[in-house]
């Protein structure tokens, strides 16, 4: 049986500059994998968090829903904020979802990520809020 490739990327959260911020590996799975495999991949990446997304087909939801799990190089964790943001960024940035909101089903419950518009760039001090 041929092995299926896993789509992944490393996202630097909390920055718009490569190799800054807080990195998280994001892996998009087509099917469930066993815990030992998930942990081995996280150990191979050897960064603070590796997260795994798997699409969930739940017809009652208006927003796409994904299963989401987080692993450090040595253990699974119940919640990771920066890897959740990295997962949402990956799905939004690569056009893998067509909505402005995503739901993640996790060990900590349902988490929702919403895409917000980019702020308008301004070079004028007249556009700054009072007090700056």
Catalytic residues: 49
3-class state of residue 1 by DSSP: coil
At residue 57's C-alpha, the angle toward residues 68 and 96, to 5°, is 65
Query: What long-range pairs does 4-11 form, CB within 8 A, spacing at least 24?
Result: 4/30, 4/31, 6/41, 9/90, 10/45, 10/47, 11/86, 11/89, 11/90
Q: Which residue has the tokens 């990327």?
A: 9
- For 98-131, letters b (16+ CB in 10 Å) and e give eeeebbbbbeeeebebeeeeeeeeeeeeeeeeee
């Amino acid at each position: 049986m041929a092995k299926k490739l896993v789509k992944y990327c490393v996202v630097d959260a909390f920055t718009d500059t490569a190799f800054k911020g807080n990195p998280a590996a994001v892996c998009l799975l087509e099917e469930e994998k066993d815990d030992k495999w998930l942990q081995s991949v996280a150990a191979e990446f050897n960064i603070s968090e590796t997260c795994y997304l798997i699409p969930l087909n739940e017809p009652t939801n208006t927003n796409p829903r994904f299963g989401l799990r987080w692993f450090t190089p040595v253990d699974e964790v119940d919640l990771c904020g920066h890897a959740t943001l990295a997962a949402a960024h990956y799905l939004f940035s690569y056009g893998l979802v067509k909505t402005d909101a995503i739901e993640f089903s996790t060990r900590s419950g349902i988490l929702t990520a919403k895409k917000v518009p980019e702020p308008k760039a301004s070079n004028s001090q007249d556009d700054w809020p009072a007090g700056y």
